[in-house]
């Protein structure tokens, strides 16, 4: 069964390309949201399996959204993305409830799948 | 109160002497039956009290013409003698004596309630003084004319000729007397309260002048209170008589206590010489001059603030800005040197009554104050430099933060999009047609072009290369062309200045244009650059909303930047009338 993905990012060109990349990679993209509040209501309405979540959003940051989602039932798998590198966030990603982290420029169906299937560790990347 | 002229003083003194003699004459030959054993002590004590008040009052009036206390003391002395009219055994003597018989007590209340200024200053004092006067002549007039008081020897020391006799037997004179005495007791208790309250709220310098008078006043009032309560409590008349005598004994000395209080700080003129000696010994610590002045003027709460004419502000000895304004309970004395204000002493208001003493101290300390003022000025400049250094570092950090954010939000996002578009194109190489691939590559190209534009704009904001290559004029014209609000740059002198001068002027214009566009909602901006004297003057005026805050981080940062070159930034931004930013930068 294909995983159902929600893309959360305030940059529309990124959402559009991410959608096409993930669809090409075999995912089903069920929706998009441009900010934290939109993400929370979209998760309630669409119940996605995976949330691809930008760290820097205009309202809440990605860590806070992930925290809120972890209290939901069912809990979606959260994968954080950012145009910054993993090391720019220190240990915040490890300490968060997210499954992992992908630098935006590395995003593809393959990298997302690797994070989802991985042992819950972020994918190391050159950043 | 105006100064007492010598001729007036002689006249009053003579009148006082004559009044005493007349009072003694009335007592001895007036036909009043004074018990023989009481005659001598009565004469001695009464003359001593009256003359003491008149004589000491005249001295107080001469030495402290600003206070009405001296006048009140003189009046009290005359009122004291006026009582003796009752000793003249005629109807007129009786009427005058009864009407003036207790005026001295009213004046005593007036004197005590308003000491040391001698002027009524608040409502409580006004009530006390008014009730005090109503209880003397007006009440005695009621006794005399309405209740039919008649001459009869009463209790207490002579002259005591008033006894209310029942004219028709329908009222009880003892009851009326009791009621009046009750009011007198309440009045004197309130008086004690007022004196105590003033003493408690007084600063140390004021206490020095209040204490001698207040202690004497308390003694007199307590004696009078016990005397009056003795009547209320129906204590034997003999005790009352003894108390009345002791009140008089205290009254003889009390004027001297009042005078001591009035002159106490004046007596301390020797402290001024001590101050000068101490100042001569050197003042290594900034606060020491303040402490030396505080000791000399007996006011530990004294504060000294120096005037910095260039900044138009007062600073404390450590150079920190202080607000100097009239506050209740504090007085200000400005110190001048060669007609220029140099400092202000914030002190106990009682010293305001000692202008000569304060002036002597100011003259003695003048050179030291001027010296300290210069030190305070240096300390103040040092503080300002430290503060501006901190702000410059903060502004630089803020600028770096903004660059990081601009890179992240702008070019970086666009480059990410390019990377993803290329990856998508790569994954679709085998499946998509050339049209789809072409569209993807166009998308990537457009994002790349956008990223390049943003990077160029960012680089220009970090440092305008045109400024280094072509100078201030071309750089400002380029700035104006890119400004969202129409901006006109006047003729800029075609020459080069030091890098720091050009950069500072450029950033002043750049910030002012950005403010005009972002905050002021201006319709037009005019930039004017000219050389005047030994510096460069840059003016940016807009027709926007005005009301710019010169303390805001942008303008404050510009002011700091201009100040590092020894220049000055002024901002005029009345609400509704546009903003004018003027930077003058000296250039060697």
Q: Domains (ranges, CATH) in chain B? A: 6-158+169-267 (1.20.1070), 268-383 (3.30.450), 469-588 (3.30.565.10)
Chain A nearest-CA distance from B497, in A, is 42
CB contact under 8 A, B420 and A18: yes
Find chain A residues with C-beta within 8 A of B436's C-beta.
none
B39-80 residue pLDDT tens: 787 888 888 889 989 998 888 888 777 778 889 999 999 999
The tokens of B439 are what? Answer: 């569209």
Whole-angstrom Cα distance, residue B412 to residue B424?
18
Query: Peptide bond before A74: cis, by omega within 30 degrees of 0?
Result: yes
Would you state the pLDDT for residue A127? Answer: 39
Whole-angstrom Cα distance, residue B118 to residue B72?
7
Q: How confident is the model at residue B336 (pLDDT cuts 50, 70, 90)?
A: confident
Whole-angstrom Cα distance, residue A6 to residue A32?
6
CB contact under 8 A, B415 and A11: no
Q: Mean of the per-residue pLDDT values for chain B?
A: 82
CB contact under 8 A, A83 and B416: yes
* Angle subtended by helix axes B237-267 and B36-63, to nearest 10: 20
Would you state the pLDDT for residue B281? Answer: 66
Size of interface A-B (CB pairs under 8 A): 42
Find chain A residues with C-beta within 8 A of B447's C-beta.
13
Region B394-411 average pLDDT: 89
CB contact under 8 A, A17 and B413: no
CA of B500: how far to CAs of B467, B506, B554, B564, in Å?
11, 10, 18, 10
Question: For residue A122, is pLDDT > 70?
Answer: no
Given the cut 0.90, state whether the ipTM is greater than it.
Answer: no
Would you state the pLDDT for residue B352? Answer: 67
Whole-angstrom Cα distance, residue A61 to residue A9?
11
Q: How confident is the model at residue B295 (pLDDT cuts 50, 70, 90)?
A: confident
Q: What's the gap between Cα B132 and its chain centre?
A: 33
Would you state the pLDDT for residue B160? Answer: 59
Whole-angstrom Cα distance, residue B235 to residue B223?
14
Q: How confident is the model at residue B143 (pLDDT cuts 50, 70, 90)?
A: confident
Question: For residue B287, is pLDDT > 90?
Answer: no
Query: Which positions 421-450 of B are in contact with A (Cβ < 8 Å)?
Result: 421, 423-424, 427-428, 443, 447
Q: How confident is the model at residue A125 (pLDDT cuts 50, 70, 90)?
A: very low
Whole-angstrom Cα distance, residue B94 to residue A10?
106
Mutant choice from A83, A85, A111, A125 vs B, greatest count of B C-beta within 10 A: A83
Query: Which positions 30-89 of B are in contact with A (Cβ < 8 Å)?
Result: none
Whole-angstrom Cα distance, residue B150 to residue B274?
64
CA of B91: how far to CAs of B27, B98, B400, in Å?
16, 10, 103
DSSP B300: T
Domains of chain A: which residue ranges?
4-117
Chain A nearest-CA distance from B419, in A, is 6
CB contact under 8 A, A17 and B447: no
CB contact under 8 A, B420 and A83: no
Instruction: Give the range among A36-45, B333-342, B362-371, B384-393 with minimum mean pLDDT.
Output: B362-371
Instruction: Give the range among B140-149, B494-503, B511-520 with minimum mean pLDDT.
Output: B140-149
Query: Which positions 525-584 of B are in contact with A (Cβ < 8 Å)?
Result: none
B474-494 residue pLDDT tens: 999 999 998 999 999 998 998
Region B517-542 average pLDDT: 90
Find chain B residues with C-beta within 8 A of A17's C-beta.
417, 420-421, 424, 443
Whole-angstrom Cα distance, residue A107 to residue A82?
10
B417 touching chain A per CB within 8 A: yes
Query: Which positions 380-409 of B are in contact with A (Cβ < 8 Å)?
Result: 408
User: Is the whole model's pTM more than 0.90, yes or no?
Assistant: no
Q: How confident is the model at residue B88 (pLDDT cuts 50, 70, 90)?
A: confident
Cβ pair B118, B353 in contact under 8 A: no
Most confident range (mean pLDDT) of A27-41, B308-322, B329-343, B371-385 is: A27-41
Question: For residue B169, is pLDDT > 70?
Answer: no
Cβ pair B315, B308 in contact under 8 A: yes
Whole-angstrom Cα distance, residue B515 to residue B517?
5
Region B307-327 average pLDDT: 85
CB contact under 8 A, A24 and B417: no
Which CATH number, 3.40.50.170, 3.40.50.2300, 3.90.1150.10, 2.60.40.10, labels domain A4-117? 3.40.50.2300
Whole-angstrom Cα distance, residue A32 to residue A56?
15
Find chain A residues with C-beta within 8 A of B443's C-beta.
13, 17
Question: For residue B279, is pLDDT > 80?
Answer: no
Collapsed DSSP state (helix, strand, coil) of residue A108: coil
DSSP B552: S
Region B131-140 average pLDDT: 86
Chain B nearest-CA distance from A15, in A, is 9
């Amino acid at each position: 069964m294909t995983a159902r993905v929600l893309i959360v990012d305030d940059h529309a060109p990124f959402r559009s390309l991410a959608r096409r990349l993930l669809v090409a990679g075999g995912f089903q993209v069920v929706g998009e949201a441009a900010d934290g509040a939109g993400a929370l209501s979209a998760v309630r309405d669409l119940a996605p399996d995976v949330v691809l979540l930008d760290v820097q959003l205009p309202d809440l940051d990605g860590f806070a959204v992930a925290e809120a989602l972890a209290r939901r039932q069912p809990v979606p798998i959260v994968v954080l993305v950012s145009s910054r590198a993993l090391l720019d966030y220190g240990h915040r990603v490890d300490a968060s409830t997210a499954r992992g982290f992908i630098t935006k420029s590395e995003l593809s169906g393959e990298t997302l799948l690797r994070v989802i299937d991985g042992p819950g560790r972020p994918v190391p990347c050159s950043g | 109160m105006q100064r007492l002229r010598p001729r007036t003083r002689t006249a009053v003194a003579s009148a006082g002497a004559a009044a005493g003699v007349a009072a003694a004459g009335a007592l001895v030959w007036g036909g009043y039956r004074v018990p023989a054993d009481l005659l001598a002590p009565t004469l001695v004590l009464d003359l001593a009290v009256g003359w003491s008040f008149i004589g000491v009052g005249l001295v107080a009036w001469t030495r402290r013409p600003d206070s009405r206390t001296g006048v009140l003391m003189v009046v009290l002395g005359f009122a004291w003698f006026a009582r003796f009219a009752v000793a003249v055994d005629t109807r007129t003597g009786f009427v005058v004596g009864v009407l003036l018989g207790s005026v001295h007590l009213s004046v005593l209340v007036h004197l005590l309630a308003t000491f040391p200024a001698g002027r009524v200053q608040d409502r409580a004092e006004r009530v006390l003084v008014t009730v005090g006067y109503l209880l003397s002549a007006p009440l005695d007039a009621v006794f005399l004319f309405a209740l039919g008081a008649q001459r009869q020897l009463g209790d207490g020391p002579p002259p005591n000729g008033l006894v209310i006799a029942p004219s028709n037997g329908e009222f009880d004179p003892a009851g009326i007397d009791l009621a009046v005495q009750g009011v007198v007791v309440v009045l004197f208790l309130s008086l004690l309260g007022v004196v105590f309250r003033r003493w408690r709220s007084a600063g140390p310098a004021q206490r020095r002048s209040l204490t001698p008078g207040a202690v004497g006043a308390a003694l007199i009032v307590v004696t009078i209170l016990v005397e009056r309560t003795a009547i209320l409590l129906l204590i034997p008349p003999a005790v009352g008589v003894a108390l009345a005598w002791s009140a008089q004994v205290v009254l003889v000395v009390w004027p001297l206590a009042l005078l001591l209080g009035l002159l106490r700080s004046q007596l301390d003129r020797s402290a001024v010489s001590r101050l000068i000696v101490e100042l001569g010994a050197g003042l290594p610590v900034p606060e020491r001059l303040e402490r030396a002045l505080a000791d000399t003027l007996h006011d530990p709460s004294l504060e000294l603030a120096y005037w910095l004419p260039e900044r138009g502000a007062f600073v404390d000895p450590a150079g920190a800005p202080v607000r100097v304004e009239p506050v209740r309970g504090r007085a200000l004395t400005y110190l001048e040197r060669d007609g220029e204000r140099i400092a202000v002493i914030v002190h106990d208001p009682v010293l305001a009554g000692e202008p000569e003493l304060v002036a002597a101290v100011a003259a003695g300390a003048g050179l030291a104050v001027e010296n300290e003022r210069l030190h305070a000025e240096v300390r103040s400049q040092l503080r300002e430099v430290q503060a501006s250094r901190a702000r410059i570092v903060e502004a630089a950090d803020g600028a770096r933060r903004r660059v990081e954010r601009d890179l992240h939000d702008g070019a970086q996002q666009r480059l990410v999009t390019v990377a993803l578009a290329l990856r998508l194109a790569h994954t679709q190489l085998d499946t998509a047609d050339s049209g789809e691939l072409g569209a993807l590559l166009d998308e990537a190209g457009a994002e790349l072009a956008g990223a390049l534009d943003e990077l160029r704009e960012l680089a220009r904001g970090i440092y305008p290369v045109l400024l280094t290559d072509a100078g201030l004029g071309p750089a400002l014209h380029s700035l104006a062309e890119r400004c969202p609000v129409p901006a006109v740059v006047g003729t800029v002198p075609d020459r080069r200045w030091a890098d720091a001068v050009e950069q500072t002027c450029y950033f002043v214009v750049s910030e002012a244009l950005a403010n005009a566009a972002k905050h002021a909602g201006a319709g037009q901006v005019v930039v004017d650059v000219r050389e005047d004297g030994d510096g460069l003057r840059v003016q940016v005026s807009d027709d926007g909303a005005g009301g710019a805050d010169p303390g805001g981080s942008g303008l404050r940062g510009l002011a700091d930047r201009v100040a590092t070159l020894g220049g000055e930034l002024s901002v005029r931004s009345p609400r509704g009338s546009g903003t004018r930013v003027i930077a003058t930068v000296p250039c060697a």
